[in-house]
Amino acid sequence: MTDVNEALGTISHNNSSYQAKLERLIPHDCTAVWAMLTDPAKMIDWLAPGEIELRLGGAAKLNFVDSGIVIDSEVTDYDPERTLQYSWSGPGEPERPLRWELNPEDDGTRLTLTLGSPDDEDIARSCAGWEAHLMMLLAAIEGVPIKFPFERFQATREAYNQML
């Protein structure tokens, strides 16, 4: 049986976009998980350098130096320690909504990541990238940050491609 934190997400398609949903069960409370998603000092350990203004309409800026990807969008949904949404896009790029939802569960938090992508983009690559970053998040919240797990990225990209 696959552990919930190793299971792949789901991908759906409607009209001109994909939507993917990935979930993790994290053995920490919502406050700790929220800090990983929003505190620049913690984000750097699993995501990228940057800052998210924690308010509706606030700036969401991340700089993935190694890949050259720059995110420059705004917060479109915000409920402290529950919901955070912004676009995984830079200026002039199509909207790629990224939604984090936290729900207390047992002795931890169920983290649900929902991402959107235009249907002319590689959703399998996007999902695989997020699989790798979620693995980094799980390590970082335990105090043992890891580098980008390229093997996880490659394996899950192939698996997601088979779903399409």
The domain ranges of the chain are 19-163
- At residue 1, the pLDDT reads 36
- DSSP track, 32-75: HHHHHHH-HHHHTTTS-SEEE-SSTT-EEEEEETTTTEEEEEEE
Identity at 12, one-letter amino acid code: S
- At residue 68, the pLDDT reads 82
What confidence tens digit (pLDDT) does each residue in 97-115 have? Answer: 999 999 999 889 999 999 9
For the chain, list residues with pLDDT below 50.
1-2
Give the Å distances, CA to CA, from 37 to 79, 82, 100, 155. Answer: 13, 11, 8, 25
Q: How far apart are CA 73 and CA 137, in angstroms?
A: 22
- At residue 130, the pLDDT reads 96
Q: Does 3.30.530.20 match the CATH number of domain 19-163?
A: yes
- At residue 87, the pLDDT reads 95
